[in-house]
Structure 1
Amino acid sequence: MAPPLAPSLAQLRALVAVADAGGFGEAAAEHGVSQSTLSEAVARLEALAGRPLLRRTSAGTVPTEAGLRALVHARSAVQAASDALLAAQEEGTLAGTLRVASFRSTATHLLPPALAAFRAKHPGVGVILLDAESCGGGAEAVRAGRVDAGLILADEAPDLRLTPLVLDEYLFAAPVTRGPQPVTLADLSAQPLILPPQRDSCHQRVRRYLTARGVPLTHITEVEQDSVTLSMVGHGLGVTIMPRLALLPLPPGLIALPLPDPLTRPLALAVLPHRAALPLLRAFTATVLESVERLGTPHKAPEVREPSAPLPQRAAPN
């Protein structure tokens, strides 16, 4: 009996492209191919699988249950094919495209100098910077192969290869008329608290902090944009607790003070463990670390953390 035919990389790429774009037309436009080419490739793949892998809905084209299972291996196969060439590169002549997911705050304050230095060293590499929230979260985007590296919260992804960067301290922000006196737990419940939506990791971290200290959570207003939150605080509509990097630059009329007990978020650069040795990712990681050091952010000598290894404690940035 003849062995079953194996799918081609072109067919697997078509499946991934359509699933990620949410439609054949969208994927064709994004990748510069005809819609009929993608349709034919997916149809042949489905014939090999013996069942539908994608289905059209009112919200777009989505994977079937079988398609979801197939996508895990399709992404790995497509990535492995590309990595075979990336692994053969020399660090002095790197080329290709690097996709990086980041929080808005780290993309604003930590990454630009690193990206500038990386471009100067490796002009043949193009960098695509993506908002972590828009791609399903930085850690999940790394796991799924949608990005090559992600700026993430290290304690939420023990399965990834982590390079710790800094501890970003949370601060209490209020109108400057409050004065510089130390923040108390009573201050945290005296006015409405403005936080990001509950799905946001910062909301969850702050909520755990307050709950553990018995602060009532009865007056929380959820706001999507940090800039809107700070504007509301400036107009006396409440107070907020926000990471230092998200507060910078602090708008006029506001004051930022330490919390009664420290609260931080451990920021790290994450990659898939089996991809960490690729010259492209190794060079990018080194450049980010060098850039953090040049910014003068206090931290101990960074240590790469293997999957499931505990993170060391580091000093919070000033």
Structure 2
Amino acid sequence: MTRSKSPSTHAQPTLAQLRALIAVVDAGGFGEAAAELNVSQSSLSEAVGKLEDLTNRPLLRRSARGTVPTPAGLRAVTHARTAVQAAGDVLLAAQDDGELSGMLRVSSFRSAATHLLPPVLVAFRQQHPAVTVRLLDGDRAGTGEHLVRGGQADLALIEGDSAADLRLTPLLLDDYLFIAPASRGTQPVTVQELVDSPLLLSPRGDACFQRIETYLGRLGVNTSGATTFEQDSVTLGMVRHGLGITLMPRLALLPVPDGLVTLPLPEPLTRPLVVAALPHRAGLPLIRAFTAALVESLGTVPADQLTNPRSHVWH
């Protein structure tokens, strides 16, 4: 729809209109967004229409992928997220530490969600029963940081310490291990063995592969001939059948399948696990409390206490 008027300098969008725009963009359609918000599709369409009247330009368009934002809509929805989040933060900031309530959205990658978060969630729920914690999938590299920056997650458990624009609170160091068929035995791993063995690794380009590639490069081990697999379970199955060796973070190994031996590397390699938040939101009582719970539960636990002994054959 073509509009010729300039945007109003007096009328301001309502939070309901901004939420409607965000919901449609996230859901990819009015019907899906209406169901998510538990409102009628007509009321959602009306809210977005009024917002488009205020901006005097279309913010959404139909495409083969559903309803997507126009260039103006893409710019607008970024600020809409910030505005809606800021309005909610007014209420969060006023809460007392001992009477927390509301929704906390936490992004985490699979191994952390499986092995680290459950005891934290149990303790946090007991201490703050009026808080609902919603877990979000942060398995893909950069997803957690992206969700926090975009206002779709309040906190993210991530690996690495390079997100300079976020407040990063260290949790623990997760060490990488050498994994081979159990028939290899438990004699120490040498650099020459890494050079000579077929490498079975995670997909090229992801954070794990990049960290391993850098590490092996320092030892003079070439990864150009490595075979890569999307799923850790597939990689470990190949190793178990004698098709090569792999390097994985300790947490990603759990539970370790039978038929494998896990050993320390010739030189240590670790990945730092941190919890990330936007700097201006890190001090909100709800976010601060959950961060403190994570640190209390995990920050003093050495990663090697999360599994069995450092050298072990799994039968």
Moved more, 47-56 or 109-118: 47-56
Q: Secondary structure at the match of 1:274?
A: coil
- 2:182–2:260 CA contact under 8 A, matched in 1: yes
What is the aligned partner in structure 1 of residue 216 from structure 2? 210
Identity of aligned residues (%): 62
> 2:108 aligned to 102, 105, 113, which one?
102
Alignment of 1:145-294 (within 5 A): 145-292=151-298
What is the aligned partner in structure 1 of residue 43 from structure 2? 37
Please list the CA deviations of residues 114-148 of structure 1 after superposition, one character each: whole Å capped at 9, or x if unmatched: 11100010011111111103696111111111111
What is the aligned partner in structure 2 of residue 297 from structure 1? 302
- 2:200–2:244 CA contact under 8 A, matched in 1: yes
1:199 and 1:32 map into 2 onto residues whose CA distance is 40
What runs of 5+ residues in structure 2 fail to find an aligned partner?
1-5, 311-315
- 1:196–1:223 CA contact under 8 A, matched in 2: yes
Displacement of 1:52: 2.0
What is the aligned partner in structure 1 of residue 79 from structure 2? 73
Pairs aligned (count) = 300
2:204 and 2:40 map into 1 onto residues whose CA distance is 41
Q: Which has the larger radius of gyration?
A: 2
Alignment of 1:40-59 (within 5 A): 40-59=46-65
Q: Secondary structure at the match of 2:104?
A: strand
Q: Secondary structure at the match of 1:159?
A: coil
2:36 and 2:140 map into 1 onto residues whose CA distance is 17
- 2:179–2:261 CA contact under 8 A, matched in 1: yes
TM-score of the pair, normalised by structure 2: 0.88
Displacement of 1:199: 3.8
| Residues 137 and 283 (structure 1), Cα distance of their counterparts in 2 relative to 1, 3 Å cut | same
What is the aligned partner in structure 2 of residue 84 from structure 1? 90
2:258 and 2:303 map into 1 onto residues whose CA distance is 26
1:254 and 1:60 map into 2 onto residues whose CA distance is 47
Segments of 4+ moved more than 6 angstroms:
none
- 2:109–2:140 CA contact under 8 A, matched in 1: no
Supply the AA of the counterpart residue of 1:63. P
Q: Secondary structure at the match of 2:98?
A: helix
Q: Secondary structure at the match of 1:92?
A: coil
Supply the AA of the counterpart residue of 1:59. R
Please list the CA deviations of residues 22-50 of structure 1 after superposition, one character each: whole Å capped at 9, or x if unmatched: 22222222221222222221122122222
Displacement of 1:272: 0.7
Supply the AA of the counterpart residue of 1:255. V
Displacement of 1:67: 1.7
- 1:154–1:162 CA contact under 8 A, matched in 2: no
1:138 and 1:31 map into 2 onto residues whose CA distance is 24
Displacement of 1:205: 1.3
What is the aligned partner in structure 2 of residue 121 from structure 1? 127
Moved more, 199-208 or 114-123: 199-208
Supply the AA of the counterpart residue of 2:302. T
| Residues 28 and 162 (structure 1), Cα distance of their counterparts in 2 relative to 1, 3 Å cut | same
| Residues 81 and 164 (structure 1), Cα distance of their counterparts in 2 relative to 1, 3 Å cut | same
| Residues 180 and 29 (structure 1), Cα distance of their counterparts in 2 relative to 1, 3 Å cut | same
Displacement of 1:58: 1.4
